[in-house]
Structure 1
Amino acid sequence: MPRSALLFLHLLGAVTWVGGMFFAYFCLRPAAAELLEPPQRLKLWVGVFSRFLPVVAGLVLILLATGFSLMAQTGFKNAPIGWHVMQGLGITMAVVFAYLYGVLFPRLRRHSAAAEWPAAAQALNGIRQLVAFNLTLGVVTVAAAVAGR
């Protein structure tokens, strides 16, 4: 695949993932807390995550594949240090996402379906914390990409 296509897919994946986390954390979360009672808020998050997380899972695969391909084209030894930082942070973000998607989200969905609101809220809080962590890593990753040029 041409380098420009790899770079396009990589940037599109990163923008969508980091932008989605920003929107969820700073826009949707406060509005939901302001307007909805906890049971409705938890159901909303199950619906939102049911749509967003599978998309992110695909994006993570695309980001890892395009990132490794771009590094291989350049040569790992020849790649700027910022690219190596970006790669390490990206892998860390992927692991955090895998835990969020594979462990915490099923817990949120299961507890919400059973109307176990305190347990569902606890799962959502864990997701919130990991989204904040991954959002921070995402911003640092973008900075590393820019600095690494």
Structure 2
Amino acid sequence: MNLTLLLHVLGVVVWVGGMFFAYMALRPVAASVLEPPQRLTLWAGVFGRFFPWVWAAVALILGSGLHMLAKLGGMEAPHYALTMLALGLAMMLIFAHVFFAPYGRLKRAVAGQDWKAGGAALGQIRSLIGINLSLGLLTIAVVFVGRWLLLAS
């Protein structure tokens, strides 16, 4: 179970940590110093490098999470674990939507130098990543508070 937990946490660190960096550090700087053509090209490149890591993290998180959930009793597992599963699945669905819809539009807009369409796609990605970052941080809090409450009882 220790190796499974390690893989799970590594996946979370890559995904949630990457979103935190992109949303809280890179986004504000890119918006303040780059013109739309450079900013949109930067983001298309950043996502092109980051999203394969997210897919790997999703596979690690889902596989290790389901394994640990089974060890905890499946659907009889503690409520915090089931809540983590629900939040994680929501995050994965949001990411899949980002990848297959607005990210595709961003790449096409940058390739065609359609900066208005690229800006719209990037705006949608930004909003959805903000939601996913919030869900990721909430999930981490749920796990720690849930485990603490379970141990305290």
TM-score by length of 2: 0.94
Q: What is the total number of aligned residue pairs between the two structures?
A: 147
Contact kept, 8 Å, 2:83 with 2:142, in 1: the verdict is yes
Segment of structure 1 superposing worse, 15-24 or 77-86: 77-86
Q: What is the distance in 1 between the residues matched to 2:122 and 2:136?
A: 20
Deviation of residue 78 (structure 1)? 4.2
Deviation of residue 147 (structure 1)? 1.6
Deviation of residue 77 (structure 1)? 4.4
Q: What is the distance in 2 between the residues matched to 1:81 and 1:118?
A: 45
State the 4+ residue runs in structure 1 displaced beyond 2 angstroms: none
Structure 1 residue matching 2:101: 3-state secondary structure? helix
Which deviations, in whole Å up to 9, do the C-alpha atoms of 1:91-148 show, x marking residues without a partner?
0000000000111111100011100000000000000000000000001100111122
Structure-2 residue corresponding to 1:127? 125
Alpha-carbon RMSD across the aligned residues, in angstroms, is: 0.8
Structure-2 residue corresponding to 1:104? 102
Residue 9 of structure 2, aligned match among 8, 11, 33: 11
Structure-2 residue corresponding to 1:22? 20
Instruction: Name the amino acid aligned to 1:16.
Output: V
5+ long unaligned stretches in structure 2 = 148-153
Q: What is the distance in 2 between the residues matched to 1:110 and 1:139?
A: 31
Q: What is the distance in 2 between the residues matched to 1:4 and 1:102?
A: 34
TM-score by length of 1: 0.96
